[in-house]
Amino acid sequence: MLTSMYLHNDGKRHWTLQALPERSQISMINGWGQETINGKESLVLAGNFYPFRAQLDRWTEGSAWSWQMDGQGHFISLPYDQTGLCIPGDVRSLISLKGKKQEFIIAASYNGAVQVLRKE
């Protein structure tokens, strides 16, 4: 089975390969960005994959995932009511942009409009 993973750097030249949480394995990850949520660095993942609909149905998780490190090297899921993040559609790419005064998430979907989300 394929698993989405990340490399965790402990800051002492030691890297650990760890699987992302099970919930993030529901669909493909096509884009990710680093965001500050509730004052902590967090990871935003987006995916979905609709072309399989005829053979296997859609691979969809419905919006996007937000994860925050728990201080022990593990991610905890941040629910929608804490983030307000929803990126619907067949998302193929996602990036985070940080300016001097504002932060944005930009998501591109297959056969859909580019979505620009501004952090409030």
Residue 119 has what pLDDT?
79
**77-85 contact pairs (CB < 8 A, 24+):** 77/21, 77/23, 78/37, 78/38, 78/42, 82/37, 82/38, 83/37, 85/44, 85/117
Q: Against a cut of 0.75, is the pTM above it?
A: no
Higher pLDDT, 10 or 101: 101
Q: What is the residue-averaged pLDDT of the chain?
A: 79
Pick the CATH number of 28-118 from 2.60.120, 2.60.40, 1.20.1510, 2.40.128: 2.40.128
